[in-house]
Amino acid sequence: MAGFAPGALVRVKDDWPETRGPVHIRTPHYLRGMRGKVVRRFGDYPNPEDLAFARPAAQRALYHVAFDQPSVWQEGKAGDQLLVEIYEHWLEPA
């Protein structure tokens, strides 16, 4: 996987693994399906979704992604942002 460069526009997958069984997800609910912009790639880290169940965990690229805060909530002050660490498998090109 080539990965995302800083500045890339991405969308957080609108997926809800919570509906399919016991899971441990580090992508907050409020970002699912939201569009953002990659700020930085941090490097690879073992997938916490598997670590939480003592399963072998694949390395996943971790990104810092910026979101327009009022767009997420339909309220708030223009220009305010959210900056959240998201693992690569939750991101797709926007």
Partner 1 sequence: MEKDVPRAHHDLGGVSKFMCEPVDVEPHALTDFDKEVDGLRAVLGSKRVMTVDELRRGIEAIPEAEYHRLSYYRRWIRSITDNLLVKGVITEAELRAALDRV
Partner 2 sequence: MMAGSNILETDGEKLLAAVRDLLAAKGLVSSAEIAERIAITDAANPGQGARMVAKAWTDPAYRSLMLEDGTKAAEELGIPMRGAPPLGVLENTDDVHHLVVCTLCSCYPRAVLGYPPFWFKSAAYRARGVRDPRGLIAEWGTVLPDGVTIRVVDSTADYRWMVLPQRPAGTEGWSEDRLAAIVREGDMIGVTVPALPAR
In the complex, the residues that contact partner 2 under the rule CB under 8 A are 22, 26-28, 30, 42, 45, 48, 53, 62, 66, 69, 72-73, 75-77, 79-87
Which tokens hold the place of 51?
């670590």
The span from the CA of 72 to the CA of 31, in Å, is 7
DSSP class of residue 42 equals E
Which of the listed partners (partner 1, partner 2, none) does 42 bind, with a CB threshold of 5 to 8 Å by partner kind? partner 2
Binding mask of the shown chain, residues 30 to 69, with x at each position contacting partner 1 by CB under 8 A: x-x---------------x--xxxx---------------
The span from the CA of 56 to the CA of 35, in Å, is 30
